[in-house]
């Protein structure tokens, strides 16, 4: 996030897209609702489903699945044509506007309606509203990123925000909402195949030298590893023989699960480290029991880049150990002695090797957290990024054309499928499905289907139906709803016994390597 969460209530206009905010980020959604109901903010929601947050919206644009670049370009077309963009900001802080203008020229409201289904007048109204205020915030989540054009979608939102001078201002910004509590921290710590901590590229000689000195070794790998979405294929092809999975359940969360199961079965050795035995753990050769959040000391870095302390409240059960102790013990047995006195000492090393964390110490986190970048022990942290200038100097507009999804409905598979979450279950249910209360509120998988489609198939509420794609099929109960349009079904991905990801497409974004979970083609039938 370029801006802190509290800035949502400083926004004049909030644009939410690809985020079922009230169900996926219920606490953060309260900031949005307060901004609208108590502080006069206007809300634009762009989503193919009639999610709860649309009830608070001044404008709701209902786009076809996978057409986000088109409607964003359409909004920019209107803003440029009507001279509504922030010319002073664009001239002083950005480059590439001329190329952007050429690309969005053809994205007239009529042309965009043909691609997205968004009525022309609604698109124009949204563009004018977004461009009319001093500070407009964009909030997005995996409904934007989980496409073969996920990177393009994010760049397009950045284009829109920069065009109207909304990056580097209180109440503005481009703000991805992280799906889990320490996803941001994991990425910051180098949990990506091409970077060390703080997004330092592994191919950079200076970064290599910093790590070698800190770790007391002569060399480090100089080329990126594989992203998780390519590891499975490598296992199937025999290029990966062993896999070590920590805190992840790919046998439910990865796309095209039948294929994933084949890949995992082809491994010679599988290690799973987790707090509960999940579907992936049941296939493991070795399971290493880890501690839960309340059983250890450390830090989390949340969606707004705020580093916060976590303090041990309970002793761990059985032989469970903190993740860092397991990793240190394993490293030592493999020949590289690794030992730390405490998590605090690990944080001191993080600060040593990570420029954006170099001012963060435990004693500074006792009462309040700190937003990175925090570049010195007397630095107050940086709640809002790019205030005076962009990190790279000038903000770069990217001229991007619309590309359709990898798989569209046809005669054999005539329906769109999109997937997501529900409020009362979390990710693959490893934790939430241990709770009787939550299981009472969300007991099983369902297929959300429109009244028109249910009528044409003579499907009643609660009846079991079969959903099939080119990759697999599942059975679940029907939930007849006005939330989805005719021709589209929605399935939550939490439930292993009717796993939506048996159906989803494994086509990847070529840059981020994220799968296209949010759109594929399916057929339905009564069981």
The per-residue pLDDT for range 346-385, each reduced to its tens digit, is 999 999 999 999 999 999 999 999 999 999 999 999 999 9
Q: How many CB atoms lie within 10 A of CB 66?
A: 27
CATH number at residue 500: 2.40.40.20
User: Residue 396 contacts by C-beta under 8 Å, 6 or more apart in sequence?
Assistant: 94, 95, 96
Percent of the chain past pLDDT 70, that is, above it, reads 100
CATH number at residue 216: 3.40.50.740
The per-residue pLDDT for range 106-137, each reduced to its tens digit, is 999 999 999 999 999 999 999 999 999 999 99
SS3 358: coil
Q: Are residues 160 and 220 in the same domain?
A: no
Domain count, the chain: 3
Average pLDDT over residues 56-73: 97
pLDDT at residue 105, as a whole number = 97
Q: Are residues 356 and 466 in the same domain?
A: no
**Which residue segment(s) compose the domain that 203 sits in?**
183-371
**Which of 103-112, 227-236, 385-394 shows the highest mean pLDDT?**
103-112
What confidence category does residue 391 fall into, taking pLDDT thresholds of 50, 70 and 90? confident
Boundary of a domain, candidates 145, 177, 209: 177
Q: How many CB atoms lie within 10 A of CB 80?
A: 18
For residue 454, is it within any domain? yes
pLDDT at residue 392, as a whole number = 80
For residue 390, is it within any domain? no
For residue 511, is it within any domain? yes
C-beta of residue 300 within 8 angstroms of C-beta of residue 306: no
**What are residue 390's DSSP bridge partners?**
393
**What are residue 14's DSSP bridge partners?**
43, 137
Structure tokens at 150: 């996920």
pLDDT score of 234 more than 90: yes
C-beta of residue 472 within 8 angstroms of C-beta of residue 417: no
CATH number at residue 61: 3.40.228.10
Average pLDDT over residues 167-173: 95
pLDDT at residue 389, as a whole number = 86
Average pLDDT over residues 400-425: 95
pLDDT at residue 224, as a whole number = 93
pLDDT score of 423 more than 90: yes
CA angle 286, 287, 291 (to 5 degrees): 155
Structure tokens at 317: 């059960």
Could you give the CA distance from residue 333 to residue 324 in angstroms, rounded to a whole number? 14
Q: Are residues 22 and 167 in the same domain?
A: yes
Could you give the CA distance from residue 185 to residue 205 in angstroms, rounded to a whole number? 24
Q: Are residues 455 and 322 in the same domain?
A: no
SS3 191: coil
The answer to whether the peptide bond before residue 373 is cis (omega within 30 degrees of 0) is yes
Average pLDDT over residues 65-92: 97
* Element holding 245 (H helix, E strand): strand 242-246
Q: Are residues 225 and 171 in the same domain?
A: no
pLDDT at residue 124, as a whole number = 98
pLDDT score of 180 more than 90: no
Reference 511, options 417, 408, 400, 427; nearest CA is: 400
For residue 377, is it within any domain? no
Q: Are residues 251 and 152 in the same domain?
A: no
Q: SS3 sequence, 36-68? A: HHHCCCEEEEECCCCCHHHHHCCEEECCCCCCH
For residue 398, is it within any domain? no
For residue 143, is it within any domain? yes
Reference 514, options 187, 147, 144, 224; nearest CA is: 147
Alpha carbon of 355 to those of 53, 393, 395: distances in Å?
Answer: 38, 18, 22
Give the end-to-end CA distance of the chain in Å, rounded to a whole number.
45
Burial class (CB in 10 A: 0-12, 13-18, 19+), 15: buried
The per-residue pLDDT for range 252-265, each reduced to its tens digit, is 999 999 999 999 99
For residue 399, is it within any domain? no
Q: SS3 sequence, 317-335? A: CCCCECHHHHHHHHHHHCC
Boundary of a domain, candidates 157, 177, 197: 177
Boundary of a domain, candidates 130, 154, 177: 177
Q: Are residues 193 and 148 in the same domain?
A: no
The per-residue pLDDT for range 472-523, each reduced to its tens digit, is 999 999 999 999 999 999 999 999 999 999 999 999 999 999 999 999 999 9
The per-residue pLDDT for range 429-467, each reduced to its tens digit, is 899 999 999 999 999 999 999 999 999 999 999 999 999
What confidence category does residue 390 fall into, taking pLDDT thresholds of 50, 70 and 90? confident
Pairing type for strands 488-492 and 446-449 reads antiparallel
Q: Are residues 88 and 201 in the same domain?
A: no
For residue 400, is it within any domain? no
Q: Are residues 51 and 76 in the same domain?
A: yes
Could you give the CA distance from residue 274 to residue 320 in angstroms, rounded to a whole number? 9
Structure tokens at 33: 């609702």
- Looking at residue 359, the DSSP 8-state letter turns out to be T
Structure tokens at 367: 């009462």
CA atoms within 13 A on the CB side of 368: 5
Burial class (CB in 10 A: 0-12, 13-18, 19+), 307: buried
**pTM listed for this prediction:** 0.93
Reference 159, options 60, 72, 61; nearest CA is: 72
Average pLDDT over residues 308-319: 95
- Backbone φ and ψ for 67, nearest 5 degrees, come out as -115, 30
**Cα 410–chain centre separation:** 29
Average pLDDT over residues 43-60: 97
- Backbone φ and ψ for 242, nearest 5 degrees, come out as -135, 150
Q: Are residues 244 and 334 in the same domain?
A: yes
Average pLDDT over residues 333-354: 94
- Looking at residue 357, the DSSP 8-state letter turns out to be G
Q: Are residues 239 and 361 in the same domain?
A: yes
C-beta of residue 20 within 8 angstroms of C-beta of residue 418: no
User: Residue 311 contacts by C-beta under 8 Å, 6 or more apart in sequence?
Assistant: 297
The per-residue pLDDT for range 6-30, each reduced to its tens digit, is 999 999 999 999 999 999 999 999 9
Q: Are residues 172 and 187 in the same domain?
A: no
**What are residue 300's DSSP bridge partners?**
308
- Backbone φ and ψ for 174, nearest 5 degrees, come out as -120, 115
Average pLDDT over residues 91-101: 95
What confidence category does residue 388 fall into, taking pLDDT thresholds of 50, 70 and 90? confident
């Amino acid at each position: 996030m370029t801006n802190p969460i509290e800035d949502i209530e400083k926004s004049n206009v909030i644009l939410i897209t690809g985020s079922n905010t009230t169900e996926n980020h219920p606490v953060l959604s309260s900031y949005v609702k307060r901004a609208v109901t108590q502080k006069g903010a206007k809300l634009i929601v762009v989503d193919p489903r009639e999610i709860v947050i649309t009830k608070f919206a001044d404008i709701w644009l209902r786009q076809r699945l996978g057409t986000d670049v088109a409607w964003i370009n359409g909004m920019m077309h209107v803003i440029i044509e009507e001279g509504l963009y922030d010319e002073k900001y664009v001239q002083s802080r950005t480059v590439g506007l001329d190329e952007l203008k050429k690309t969005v020229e053809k994205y007239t409201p009529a042309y965009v309606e043909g691609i997205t289904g968004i009525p022309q007048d609604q698109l124009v109204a949204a563009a004018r509203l977004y461009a009319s205020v001093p500070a407009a915030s964009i909030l997005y989540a995996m409904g934007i990123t989980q496409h073969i054009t996920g990177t393009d979608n994010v760049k397009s939102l950045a284009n829109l925000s920069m065009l109207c001078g909304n990056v580097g201002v209180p109440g503005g910004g481009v703000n991805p909402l992280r799906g889990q509590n320490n996803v941001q921290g994991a990425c910051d710590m180098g949990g990506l195949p091409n970077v060390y901590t703080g997004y330092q590229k592994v191919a950079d000689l200076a970064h290599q030298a910093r790590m070698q000195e800190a770790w007391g070794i002569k060399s480090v790998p100089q080329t990126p590893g594989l992203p998780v979405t390519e590891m499975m294929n490598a296992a199937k092809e025999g290029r990966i023989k062993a896999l070590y999975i920590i805190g992840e359940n790919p046998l439910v969360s990865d796309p095209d699960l039948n294929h994933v199961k084949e890949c995992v079965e082809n491994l010679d050795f599988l290690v799973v480290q987790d707090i509960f035995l999940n579907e992936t753990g049941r296939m493991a050769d070795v399971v290493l029991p880890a501690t839960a959040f309340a059983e250890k000391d450390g830090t989390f870095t949340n969606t707004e880049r705020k580093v916060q302390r976590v303090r041990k409240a309970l002793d761990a059960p059985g032989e469970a150990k903190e993740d860092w102790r397991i990793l240190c013990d394993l490293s030592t047995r493999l020949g590289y002695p690794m030992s730390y006195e405490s998590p605090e000492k690990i944080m001191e090393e993080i600060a040593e090797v990570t420029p954006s964390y170099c001012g963060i110490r435990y004693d500074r986190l006792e009462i309040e957290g700190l937003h990175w970048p925090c570049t010195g022990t007397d630095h107050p942290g940086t709640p809002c990024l790019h205030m005076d200038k962009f990190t790279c100097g000038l903000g770069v507009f990217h001229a991007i054309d619309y590309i359709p999804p990898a798989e569209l409905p046809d005669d054999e598979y005539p329906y769109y499928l999109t997937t997501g979450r529900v409020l009362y279950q979390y990710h693959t249910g490893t934790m939430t499905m241990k709770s009787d209360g939550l299981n009472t509120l969300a007991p099983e998988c369902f297929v959300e289907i429109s009244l028109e489609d249910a009528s044409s198939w003579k499907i009643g509420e609660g009846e079991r139906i079969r959903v099939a794609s080119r990759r697999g099929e599942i059975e679940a109960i029907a939930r007849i709803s006005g939330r989805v349009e005719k021709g589209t079904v929605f399935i939550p991905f939490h439930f292993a016994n009717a796993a939506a990801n048996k159906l989803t497409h494994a086509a990847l974004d070529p840059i981020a390597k994220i799968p296209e979970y949010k759109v594929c083609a399916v057929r339905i039938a009564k069981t």
